[in-house]
C-alpha cells in the first residue's frame, strides 16, 4: 500500500474541518489525489449509521450499541472508501478514526480501550493512520465554539463531565502513541496551526523518501 493515511482528532469544536480543508488544498497543489472523509460516515451506508448515532432522540442508546454502530460504520468506510484510495497511492484525510472510539466509548463511556480495539479488529483490518494530529483545545472552549455554529447533536450535547473525560482520554492516548500522534495547540491562529501540521507532513515525507 503506497498511499498516505492521515487522521485528524480533537474534542468537539477544535477546528478539525478548517484544518482538513487547508490540508486538502496543500496536497492537491502538489499533485496528489486526495480523499477527505469523516467518521462516522464517508459513504451512504456509514452516513445512515451516523444519523442513528447523533440523533438526539436516541437517548436510550447503550454504550455498547453506540460502540458497535461506530465499528459498523468504520468497517464499511475502510473497505469501500479508504483502502481503495490508499492502494492507488492517494492521500486520505479522515476527520476522526479509531482513536475517537477508544476515547469516546472506551474512556468516556467506560467500556475500556481493549474492548473498543477488540470490537474494531475486523472493522479496521489492521489499518492505522501514518500520522494523526490531535487538535488540543479545552473541552469547554470547543463546545462554546460549536454552540455558535449550529445546534448540538447527541454526542456534542453530553455534559461537561463527559467532555472532560474525552479530553483526558485523548491526552492519555497521545502520551502512549507519541510516534504517531502529534499534539497541536488548537487555541492559536488557523495559519499557525496549519503551518505546524504541514511541517510535520513534510518531515514525514522526508522519512518516507517521498
Q: How many CB atoms lie within 10 A of CB 151?
A: 9
pLDDT for 118 beyond 70: yes
Of the candidates 68, 45, 133, 66, which has an alpha carbon nearest to the alpha carbon of residue 96?
A: 133
Whole-number pLDDT of residue 209: 75
Q: Give the separation between CA 165 and CA 180, rounded to whole angstroms.
A: 22
Q: Residue 167 burial (CB < 10 Å; 0-12/13-18/19+)?
A: buried
pLDDT for 148 beyond 70: no
Q: Give the separation between CA 106 and CA 93, rounded to whole angstroms.
A: 23
Phi-psi sector, 125: left (phi>0), alpha (psi -120 to 50), beta: left
Domain coordinates in residue numbering, the chain:
4-208
pLDDT for 48 beyond 60: yes
pLDDT for 141 beyond 70: no
Whole-number pLDDT of residue 145: 60
Mean predicted confidence (pLDDT) in 33-42? 97
Q: How many CB atoms lie within 10 A of CB 79?
A: 15
* Confidence band of 153 (pLDDT split at 50, 70, 90): confident
Of the candidates 194, 201, 207, 178, which has an alpha carbon nearest to the alpha carbon of residue 21?
A: 194
CATH topology for the 4-208 domain:
Rossmann fold (3.40.50)
Q: Find the helix packing angle between 190-208 and 16-29, rounded to 10°.
A: 50
The three cell numbers of residue 182 are 502529534
Amino acid at each position: 500500500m503506497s498511499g498516505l493515511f492521515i487522521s485528524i482528532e480533537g474534542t468537539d469544536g477544535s477546528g478539525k474541518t478548517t484544518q482538513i480543508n487547508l490540508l486538502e488544498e496543500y496536497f492537491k497543489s502538489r499533485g496528489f489525489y486526495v480523499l477527505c472523509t469523516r467518521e462516522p460516515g464517508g459513504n451512504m451506508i456509514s452516513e445512515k449509521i451516523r444519523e442513528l448515532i447523533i440523533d438526539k432522540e436516541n437517548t436510550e442508546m447503550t454504550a455498547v450499541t453506540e460502540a458497535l454502530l461506530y465499528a459498523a460504520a468504520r468497517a464499511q468506510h475502510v473497505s469501500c472508501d479508504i483502502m481503495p484510495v490508499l492502494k492507488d497511492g492517494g492521500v486520505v484525510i479522515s476527520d476522526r478514526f479509531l482513536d475517537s472510539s477508544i476515547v469516546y466509548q472506551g474512556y468516556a463511556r467506560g467500556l475500556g480501550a481493549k474492548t473498543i480495539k477488540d470490537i474494531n479488529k475486523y472493522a479496521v483490518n489492521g489499518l492505522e493512520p501514518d500520522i494523526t494530529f490531535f487538535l488540543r483545545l479545552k473541552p469547554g472552549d470547543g463546545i462554546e465554539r460549536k454552540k455558535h455554529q449550529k445546534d448540538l447533536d447527541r454526542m456534542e450535547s453530553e455534559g461537561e463531565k463527559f467532555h472532560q473525560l474525552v479530553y483526558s482520554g485523548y491526552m492519555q492516548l497521545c502520551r502512549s502513541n507519541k510516534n504517531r500522534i502529534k499534539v497541536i495547540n488548537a487555541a492559536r491562529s488557523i495559519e499557525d496551526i496549519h503551518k505546524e501540521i504541514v511541517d510535520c507532513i513534510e518531515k514525514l515525507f522526508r522519512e518516507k523518501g517521498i
